[in-house]
Amino acid sequence: MSINHLSEVEFGVELPTFQPDTSLANVKKFAIAAGWNSPRFTDHEAARKEGLPGALIPGIMSQGFLSAMIHNWAPGAEIRLVDTIFRAPCVVDERYHINGVVTDIDEESGEVEIDLTVTNDAQETRVFGTAKVMIAN
């Protein structure tokens, strides 16, 4: 269900999870657009030579996935804060799940707080954080 008004938001509700495109081609497109075009994000072999498990999804791209999830759920939401902690690397070409749960609703101001996580198929949290968004009444 798409959220258009604050009155439709329920405390504790889980936002629809989505699986982002983590392919090397898409991460490279992102890295070029962001000005972060480094082999550690765009080349598995080069990343492994640096001791990494493979090319990494930039943390800022994970932030973008989280923001996209919020807009998929509430298209008119105005994001005021995305605060993230990168607990463990996310690797390109692996599958991740972008998750959110509503943890607070301020009915006067219209601010909604959402707990955010990026998890892998093993249900391990790789990124977690909080968003604050404004949703109109």
Partner 1 sequence: MPNVHEPIDVESLRDQFLNSVFDEYELVLDAQKLADYAKSCGETAQKYIDTSNPDFQAPPTFGSSLQPKVRYPKGFPTFKGLGMDAGKAVSPSKPMRAGEPITVKTHMHDIYTKTGRSGRMVFFVNRMEFSNANGDTLGAADTSIVIREKPQS
Footprint on this chain of partner 1 (rule: CB under 8 A): 18, 20-21, 26-27, 29-30, 32-36, 59-61, 63-69, 71-72, 75, 79-86, 129
Choice between 59 and 110, CB closer to partner 1:
59
Choice between 11 and 32, CB closer to partner 1:
32
Choice between 12 and 57, CB closer to partner 1:
57
DSSP string covering the chain, please?
A: ----SGGG--TTPBPPPB-----HHHHHHHHHHHT---HHHH-HHHHHHTT-SSSBPPHHHHHHHHHHHHHHH-TT-EEEEEEEEE-S--BTTS-EEEEEEEEEEETTTTEEEEEEEEEETT--EEEEEEEEEE---
| Least CB distance to partner 1 at residue 22 (A) | 10
| Least CB distance to partner 1 at residue 129 (A) | 7
| Least CB distance to partner 1 at residue 122 (A) | 22
